[in-house]
């Protein structure tokens, strides 16, 4: 129950900010051009409470799954009166800017949140920025069938030279059941291979059977790892001959040894090194409880100089946006499943997971969802912002308005499509939630 409450609170926090920022973009530009705004609502359905100032009713509504700004005369099914305050009375370029302002604000929000966050807290798993050294291969997996071997380094995946683990896992994830060309360095010999990732049952994502290794992100000064000269970027391969798939594997072996040296095998510069390291009984970083540890973390936490934080935020917004467009393209080509998409229930679950990891994770998740919301609203579907933009561009080329009857039919068809689409996505959410449990 406590986890559910956290998920609900995190979901309302994330969605509330994203919807407010999106609708404020429409509202602000509409007011700038003196379009009469009748309603600014967070939520849909019945009005719960609010206040009216000037021509606008500012309200909170019953269903917290979005929001809207209602402008006078914006509905193409309404008769036009010629009132200068009506949306349709304004030139197309002004209507275009009103329509594009919502998605633009979501993109700006994602960029600003990440820039500020990374100035104070830039956290990531060390393996995500590391080269793709093959340390673990799941038996009978696509990686094994493709001919990959432990000790290989993947130096190209789908045209990306020297990919990081993060880049490699993304390419595998978005290509389930499809051929993924890779280039491998085995010793000094390059080899061309082809991966065909399996399709996971829950999210229909690709899985190659390659687990990322435990890469050292940070080393605590004065503890055994520091004394043994373990370095950031070293890969933890095994402890007492048993593979290290997570830091828990290492911690378990250290507790069993009770301060006696363990045989720790690490990978450095593609060569295995074995060290005898004793654990030291010290408090853990997040509690006063003492455990045998050597003082390594798989995460990297740093503060970036502001210009670097801005560049990093820009790069992540750009790469994530391009990835979303690529996924949409694969969906249209039937290369990916709609089950990879998440709706309100999925977003609530992931919001809760991010919140449990801390505010930085929740803010980063919010930035990613903000980009998704912007791109979804830019799709050329009537009723969405992108549909209005498309109609305005068509009318600009035609140099006349599209007939009212045509607009009505198009909007009706789009409404039916969006209702069916929402039903399918919510059904997928429920199915994945049941599977998740």
Burial of 63 by CB count in 10 Å (0-12 exposed, 13-18 middle, 19+ buried)? exposed
The phi-psi region of residue 254 (left if phi > 0; otherwise alpha if psi is between -120 and 50; otherwise beta) is alpha
Strand blocks (E) in 280-410: 280-283, 290-293, 296-297, 299-302
Burial of 278 by CB count in 10 Å (0-12 exposed, 13-18 middle, 19+ buried)? middle
Any idea which residue has 């967070």 for tokens?
42
Active site (annotated) includes residue 23: yes
Q: What are the structure tokens assigned to 221, written together?
A: 């000064």
With vertex at residue 229, the alpha carbon angle to CA 228 and CA 233, rounded to the nearest 5 degrees, is 125
CA atoms within 13 A on the CB side of 81: 8
Cα distance between residue 164 and residue 362, in whole Å: 24
Cα distance between residue 137 and residue 151, in whole Å: 10
Catalytic residue among 23, 74, 280, 316: 23
What are the catalytic residues? 23
């Amino acid at each position: 129950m406590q986890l559910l409450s956290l998920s609900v609170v995190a979901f309302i926090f994330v969605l509330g900010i994203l919807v407010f920022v999106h609708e404020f973009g429409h509202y602000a530009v509409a007011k700038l051009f003196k379009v009469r705004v009748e309603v600014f609502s967070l939520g849909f359905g019945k009005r719960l409470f609010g206040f009216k100032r000037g021509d606008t009713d500012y309200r909170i509504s019953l269903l917290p799954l979005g929001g809207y700004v209602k402008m006078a005369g914006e509905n193409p099914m309404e008769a036009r009166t010629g009132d200068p305050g009506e949306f349709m009375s304004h030139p197309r370029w002004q209507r275009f800017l009103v329509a594009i302002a919502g998605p633009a604000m979501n993109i700006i929000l994602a960029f600003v949140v990440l820039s500020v966050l990374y100035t104070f807290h830039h956290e990531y798993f060390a393996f995500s920025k590391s080269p793709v050294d093959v340390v673990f291969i799941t038996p009978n997996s696509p990686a094994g069938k493709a001919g990959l071997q432990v000790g290989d380094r993947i130096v190209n995946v789908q045209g990306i030279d020297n990919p990081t683990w993060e880049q490699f896992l993304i390419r595998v994830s978005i290509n389930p059941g499809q051929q993924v060309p890779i280039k491998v360095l085995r010793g000094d010999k390059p080899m061309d291979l082809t991966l065909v990732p399996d399709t996971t049952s829950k999210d229909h994502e690709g899985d190659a059977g390659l687990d990322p290794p435990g890469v050292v992100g940070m080393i605590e000064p004065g503890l055994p790892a520091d004394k043994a000269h373990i370095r950031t970027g070293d890969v933890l391969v095994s402890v007492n001959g048993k593979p290290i798939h997570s830091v828990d594997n290492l911690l378990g072996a250290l507790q069993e040894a009770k301060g006696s040296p363990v045989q720790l095998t690490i990978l450095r510069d593609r060569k295995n090194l074995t060290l005898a390291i004793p654990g030291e009984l010290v408090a853990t970083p997040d509690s006063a409880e003492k455990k045998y540890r050597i003082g390594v973390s798989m995460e990297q936490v740093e503060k970036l100089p502001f210009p670097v934080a801005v560049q990093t935020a820009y790069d992540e917004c750009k790469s994530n946006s391009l990835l979303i467009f690529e996924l949409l393209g694969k969906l249209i080509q039937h290369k990916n499943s709609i089950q990879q998409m998440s709706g309100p229930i999925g977003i609530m679950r992931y919001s809760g997971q991010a919140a449990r990891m801390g505010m930085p994770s929740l803010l980063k998740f919010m930035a990613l969802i903000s980009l998704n919301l912007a791109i979804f609203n830019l799709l050329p579907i009537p009723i969405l912002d992108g549909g209005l933009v498309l109609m305005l561009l068509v009318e600009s080329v035609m140099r006349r308005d599209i007939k009212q009857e045509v607009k009505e039919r198009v909007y009706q068809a789009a409404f039916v499509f969006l209702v069916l689409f929402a039903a399918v996505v919510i059904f997928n959410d429920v199915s994945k939630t049941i599977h998740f449990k």
